[in-house]
């Protein structure tokens, strides 16, 4: 069995386009496209748009994509310019770590954080 990379990351002070923090349709289409283009099989996805809070210009988003190889999840807080990412694409037959890194890089390019805290977990 190949080792699998599981990336957990917090993105702070995101400077990307605001629509990726608060427009559920835009981010859903973007993330699903990234995953499909990487060759993963999307089983299902669920995205939820939260109502704006007291200090928020627009509510955040939680999105979870279930793929046959595992999952990807994204949570946004537009009022804080904060994004939380959880990506894990496992496989018994091949190493998906490069594809996982590529999707993570595309997401960080999209959000343009000034600061990031990332934790890599290597799973058997």
Active site residues: 70, 75, 90
Of the CA atoms within 13 Å of residue 28, those in its CB half-sphere come to 15
123: Cβ–Cβ under 8 A, 6 or more apart, which residues? 3, 4, 5, 6, 88, 90
Cα–Cα dist 115/58, whole Å: 22
């Amino acid at each position: 069995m190949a080792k699998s990379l599981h990336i957990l990351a917090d993105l702070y002070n995101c400077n990307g386009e605001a629509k990726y923090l608060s427009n559920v349709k835009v981010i859903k289409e973007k993330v699903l496209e990234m995953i499909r283009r990487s060759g993963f099989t999307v089983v299902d996805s669920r995205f939820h748009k939260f109502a704006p809070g007291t200090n928020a210009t627009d509510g955040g988003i939680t999105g979870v994509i279930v793929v046959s190889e595992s999952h990807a999840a994204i949570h946004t807080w537009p009022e804080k310019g904060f994004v939380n990412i959880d990506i894990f694409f496992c496989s018994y037959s091949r190493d998906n770590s490069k594809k996982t890194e590529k999707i993570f890089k595309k997401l960080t390019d999209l959000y343009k954080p000034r600061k990031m805290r990332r934790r890599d977990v290597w799973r058997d």
